[in-house]
Amino acid sequence: MSFRVVSQGAPPVVVCYLVGSEQDAKLRAALPGCAIVATHEAPLHPTLEELHAAMRLVGLEAEDVCLVGYSAGCQSVRSLLWERGVRPLVTVTIDGTHAAIKPPAAQIDVWRALAEEARAGRCMWVATCTQQTYTELLTLQRDGHEPFMATVHVLERVLDMPLPAGLEVHEGHLHVLSYDSARIDGEAHKSQLREVLPHVLAEYVAPYLVGDEPTTDPGSTALPWMDPALPLGERALLLSIHEMESGVREEPPGSNTGVRIREYLAPAHRDGKFLGLEAAEWCAAAACWTAYTCLGPYTDRGTADRHDDEVMPHAYRVSGIEIEEDAKRNGTWWPAKSGYRPRRGDLALYKRGSQAWQRHVVRVEVEPDEAGRFRSVGGNEKGNAWQRTPRRMDDADLLGFVEYPTAYTAAALPAG
């Protein structure tokens, strides 16, 4: 490997992967007085010998090291953490924590472990992402590359929360920053190297190395769908709109699956057992996922249906008729001709297909007007994606509504 000396200085040594020499001046300005070495390469399996040789270029063999990766360079960092057992004082991953789609667990678990260490204050991890997800649609035949899970989706799994553009998460010494971009956006990705990397080094890493880390506002992790002042249905609706605006859809179209859709399906259960589905009609699971993700409190998650002080008015299902049956048992089901006027965030269930059990599940966005017109947001609609759809209360296929009460806790469940 070919490393270069960016600056001589004091330990720990900052080792950068896939960072070209055009960034050297910005690196020195962001980390004054630090020993920095860098390479424009991104080896998939770097060795400890190569790492130690890089550190010796600045005359240091310090035990502590700071690892920095950009794009594919983050895979070099991941390999050092995973295969070589390196435990950096600081880790910085700039728009590159992507992972294999199948099986992704081991690669994602590396980042989960690092996140826990950073939350506990034993190290620092700064991670960034854009909203690029085109990597999940690549095909070997067409593009010459296997598809892989986008950085934003990997970090969402690590944090167990959505990461829309503009969100910052600060938990202990864990800092995650999500940036805006198109689905395919080379300029946004390049900006992560040119602008974002020196910014996070100066803002977070430099103060941390001298024991003067800035105080960050824990409230910056707040999301609109986690506002406890809003009822659960409203929160679930806001998250549904976010999923729609993020372009979540089947990949490939017509497959009833995709990276995000598999996340919707994973917690679905029946008779006390997880179903383990990776592909299915997903409107019901999507409606359940949005509600479950919004349940409060937002730490220490409980079962797949409830948290400590709030529950869904139905279980986490992949079947619309099971949601309907749950709601009937819980007293939250209203037939279409009952006179009930749905509120924002309620579910609407429709006949679908030729079988009596088939249902389509959507969430009410705009409440009915005097003419009975309303609007919904739902998954697995036109284009195999989330869509807004105008509706009518007199639709012959409308079966009824699942009410999302303004306050629904375990105490509200019927006895037994």
Question: Rounded to an integer, what distance in angstroms lies between the CA atom of residue 48 and that of residue 123?
Answer: 20
CATH architecture of 4-221: 3-Layer(aba) Sandwich (3.40)
- Residue 91 corresponds to which amino acid? T
Q: How many CB atoms neighbour CB 393 within 10 A?
A: 18
The token pair that represents 75 in the structure block = 């895979």
Complete DSSP assignment for 363-393: EEEE---TTSEEEEEEEEETTTEEEEEEEET
CA distance 77 to 200: 17
**What's at 172, amino acid-wise?**
G
Beta bridge partners of 359: 351
Q: 3-state class of 361 per DSSP?
A: strand
Instruction: Say whether pTM exceeds 0.95.
Output: no
Count of Cβ atoms closer than 10 Å to residue 198 Cβ: 18
Measuring CA to CA, which residue among 199, 131, 116, 114 is closest to residue 167? 131
Angle at 120 between CA 118 and CA 123, to 5 degrees: 35
Per-residue confidence in pLDDT tens, the chain, 416 aa: 899 999 999 889 999 999 999 999 999 999 999 999 999 999 999 999 999 999 999 988 767 899 999 999 999 999 999 999 999 999 999 999 988 877 667 889 999 999 999 999 999 999 999 999 888 877 765 656 678 889 999 998 898 888 888 888 898 999 999 998 988 899 999 999 999 999 999 999 999 998 766 555 544 456 788 788 899 999 999 999 989 988 899 988 999 998 889 889 988 999 988 898 999 999 999 999 999 988 875 433 334 444 446 889 999 999 999 999 999 999 999 999 999 999 999 999 999 989 999 999 999 999 999 999 999 999 999 999 999 999 999 999 999 999 998 755 444 444 43
Distance CA(161)–CA(222), nearest Å, equals 11
Q: How many residues does the chain have?
A: 416
CA dihedral 76, 82, 88, 93 (to 10 degrees): 40
**Residue 154: its H or E element:** helix 151-159
Of the candidates 11, 59, 67, 75, the one whose C-alpha atom is nearest the C-alpha of residue 38 is 67
Pick the CATH number of 224-412 from 3.90.1720, 1.10.10, 3.40.50, 1.10.760: 3.90.1720
- Listed by start position, the domains of the chain span 4-221, 224-412
